[in-house]
């Protein structure tokens, strides 16, 4: 059974220490009260002081027959405390620590604890090695699967290459909208080639009375003709343009028909599903090229609108500066007339000043209101025929300048003006007319091309239906140059047909 000391907490003081404390307090008390009583307490105090010293030695791990305190014995006692590092005598303290460690290792070896620690460390090392090896095995397995996939992929690529299908550069690859569909179409094309569903032919064909030779003949001829078909399809994609899908379609149809004729002996034909996939591949190329062309045209039209707006702004600012000078001139003249007292001249100049100020106010309004401008309805009989008009708006100070620019060298004849009227919200009127004739647009791709299949009468009716007031609207086109050209042409033809006299 453990002693009471061993079961007590490490922080509790031995009983001898407690007796020394109590006797010291009693001696101090008796020393203050009576001297003889102190003499009776001194022997007990000395004996318990010696007992406390021995307990301290035992607590510090000192040998039973000595008074030294040795570190090798300190860790064995249940009440032993770790000695503090001394301020001086570090060399002696270090030697004692080394001796204590040596004693600790001897005790561990004697009871077999070191073998247990060694086995535990060996087990931990084995677990770590096993974990490392399993990680390496997983990595190697992943690399093996990747290599196997590459081998399979190389074989698949070689198979599709053998019939002339390659991953060439396709215009739609750069398209955000069409790139995903292009990848899907190309995967379906490759799957059809690998599944042998790109073409069909007869079975059981014999060559030189050998079915084996016949099978080889069918396979080789099929591969050769399929290579020719795929090469033609690739050329159709590479030569595709924004508006020639039907040309490429007819070209591939002819190639398919030629292959059908060349392989008639073995019933060879490109399957409809594979043919549709190759046509869709061509169509994706033309769609992307159309989108690029439309974007370029829209950007060109936007730049033209920007230049038109800049010209209009420049004209209005110049007109404002000029009109401001006119107003200032009338003000100066009026001041001088007031000084001379010329009432008749003053009235005349005031009228001119009011007109000049009204014009200046109109120019200021045009500058401030960017939606104000002129709406025009024009046609070009000689260039576009009777049932086509152009509906637009301009902020130019003289709207006819814009009409004349539209009739430049890009068209053979000048435009005829059917309506040209000012509106405080010309943008809204133009938008209304464009929406009214939306289904009659000539160019459905580039909406900045403002031509419509309509007559001037149709436009006048649309303006009336939306309560847009127009002072003057001409429904007939003069087309003076066109009619003169037609008369000259008729005269020349008449002279050509006259019989030559003898």
Q: Please, which residues have CB within 8 angstroms of residue 444's CB and are 6 or more apart in sequence?
A: none
Please give the Cα distance from 249 to 240 (Å, whole number).
10
Question: Encoding tokens for residue 235?
Answer: 């050329």
One-character DSSP codes across 114-174: HHHHHHHHHHHHHHHHHHHHHHHHHHHHHHHHHHHHHHHHHHHHHHHHTTT------GGGG
Comparing 326 with 52, the larger pLDDT belongs to 326
Least confidently predicted of 39-53, 102-116, 234-248: 39-53
Q: Please, which residues have CB within 8 angstroms of residue 449's CB and are 6 or more apart in sequence?
A: 301, 441, 442, 443
Helix or strand run (H / E) with residue 378: strand 373-379
Comparing 495 with 402, the larger pLDDT belongs to 402
pLDDT at 250: 92
pLDDT at 64: 45
Residue 248: other Cβ atoms inside 10 A:
22
pLDDT at 8: 40
Instruction: State the chain's mean pLDDT as an integer.
Output: 79
Please give the Cα distance from 425 to 40 (Å, whole number).
126
Least confidently predicted of 71-75, 206-210, 225-229, 475-479: 71-75
pLDDT per residue as tens digits for the range 368-381: 777 888 999 999 99
18 pLDDT tier (thresholds 50, 70, 90)? low
54 pLDDT tier (thresholds 50, 70, 90)? low
pLDDT at 336 exceeding the cut of 60:
yes
68 pLDDT tier (thresholds 50, 70, 90)? very low
Please give the Cα distance from 68 to 60 (Å, whole number).
9
Least confidently predicted of 9-18, 127-136, 317-326, 387-396: 9-18
Q: What is the DSSP letter of 469?
A: -
pLDDT at 159 exceeding the cut of 50:
yes
Backbone region of residue 467 per phi and psi (left: phi > 0; alpha: psi in -120 to 50; beta: other values):
left
Exposure string for 449-469, b = 16+ CB within 10 A, e = fewer: ebbbebbbebbbebbeeeebe
pLDDT per residue as tens digits for the range 165-205: 877 778 888 788 888 888 899 899 988 988 889 988 888 88
Q: What is the DSSP letter of 441?
A: B
Mean pLDDT over residues 422-430, rounded? Answer: 90
Does residue 231 sit in helix, strand or coil?
Answer: helix
Mean pLDDT over residues 244-249, rounded? Answer: 88
**Extended beta strands in 229-301, E state:** 269-270
148 pLDDT tier (thresholds 50, 70, 90)? low
pLDDT over 70 percentage in the chain: 77
pLDDT at 442 exceeding the cut of 90:
yes
Q: What angle do CA 204, 207, 212 make, to 5 degrees?
A: 60
One-character DSSP codes across 404-425: HHHTSTTSSSPPEEEEEEEETT
Closest among 389, 368, 387 to 377, alpha carbons compared: 389
| Residues 45 and 20: beta-carbon distance below 8 Å | yes
pLDDT at 444 exceeding the cut of 70:
yes
pLDDT at 10 exceeding the cut of 60:
no
Cα dihedral 262→268→271→274 (10° resolution): -60
pLDDT over 90 percentage in the chain: 20
Calculate the alpha carbon distances from 411 to 339, 399, 408 in Å: 60, 19, 6
Least confidently predicted of 10-19, 25-34, 327-336, 414-423: 10-19
């Amino acid at each position: 059974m453990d002693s009471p000391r061993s079961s007590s907490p490490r922080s509790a003081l031995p009983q001898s220490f407690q007796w020394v404390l109590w006797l010291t307090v009693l001696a101090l008390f008796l020393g203050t009260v009576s001297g003889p009583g102190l003499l009776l307490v001194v022997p007990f105090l000395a004996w318990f002081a010696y007992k406390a010293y021995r307990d301290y030695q035992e607590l510090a791990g000192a040998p039973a027959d000595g008074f030294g305190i040795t570190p090798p014995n300190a860790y064995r006692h249940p009440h032993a405390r770790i000695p503090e590092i001394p301020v001086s005598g570090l060399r002696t303290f270090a030697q004692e620590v080394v001796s204590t460690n040596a004693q600790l290792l001897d005790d561990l070896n004697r009871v077999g604890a070191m073998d247990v620690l060694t086995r535990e460390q060996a087990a931990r090392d084995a677990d770590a090695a096993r974990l490392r090896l399993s990680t390496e095995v997983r990595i190697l397995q992943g690399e093996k699967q990747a290599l196997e996939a590459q081998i399979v992929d190389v074989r698949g690529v070689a198979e599709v290459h053998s019939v002339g299908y390659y991953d060439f550069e396709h215009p739609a690859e750069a398209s955000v909208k069409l790139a995903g569909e292009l990848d899907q179409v190309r995967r379906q094309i490759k799957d059809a080639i690998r599944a042998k569903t790109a073409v069909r032919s007869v079975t059981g064909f014999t060559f030189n009375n050998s079915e084996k030779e016949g099978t080889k003949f069918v396979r080789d001829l099929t591969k050769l003709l399929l290579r020719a078909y795929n090469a033609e399809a690739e050329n159709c994609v590479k030569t595709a343009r924004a508006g020639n899908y039907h040309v490429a379609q007819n070209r591939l149809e002819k190639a398919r028909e030629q292959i059908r004729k060349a392989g008639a002996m073995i019933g060879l034909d490109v399957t409809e599903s594979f043919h549709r996939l190759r046509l869709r591949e061509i169509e994706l190329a033309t769609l992307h090229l159309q989108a690029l062309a439309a974007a370029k045209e829209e950007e060109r039209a936007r730049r033209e609108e920007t230049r038109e707006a800049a010209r209009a702004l420049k004209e209005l600012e110049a007109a404002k500066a000029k009109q401001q000078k006119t107003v200032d001139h009338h003000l100066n003249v009026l001041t001088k007339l007031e000084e001379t007292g010329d009432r008749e001249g003053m009235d005349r100049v005031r009228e001119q000043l009011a007109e000049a100020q009204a014009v200046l106010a109109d120019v200021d309004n045009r500058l401030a209101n960017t939606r104000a401008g002129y709406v025009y309805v024009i046609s070009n009989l000689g260039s576009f025929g009777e049932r086509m008009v152009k509906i637009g708006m301009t902020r130019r100070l003289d709207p006819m300048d814009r009409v004349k620019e539209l009739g430049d060298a890009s068209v053979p004849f000048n435009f005829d003006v059917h309506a040209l009227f000012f509106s405080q919200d010309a943008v809204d009127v133009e938008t209304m007319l464009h929406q009214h004739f939306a289904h009659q647009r000539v160019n459905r791709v580039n909406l900045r091309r403002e031509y419509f299949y309509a007559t001037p009468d149709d436009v006048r009716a649309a303006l009336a239906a939306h309560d847009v007031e127009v002072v003057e609207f001409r429904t007939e086109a003069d087309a003076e140059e066109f009619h003169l050209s037609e008369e000259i042409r008729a005269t020349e033809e008449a002279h050509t047909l006259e019989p030559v006299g003898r």
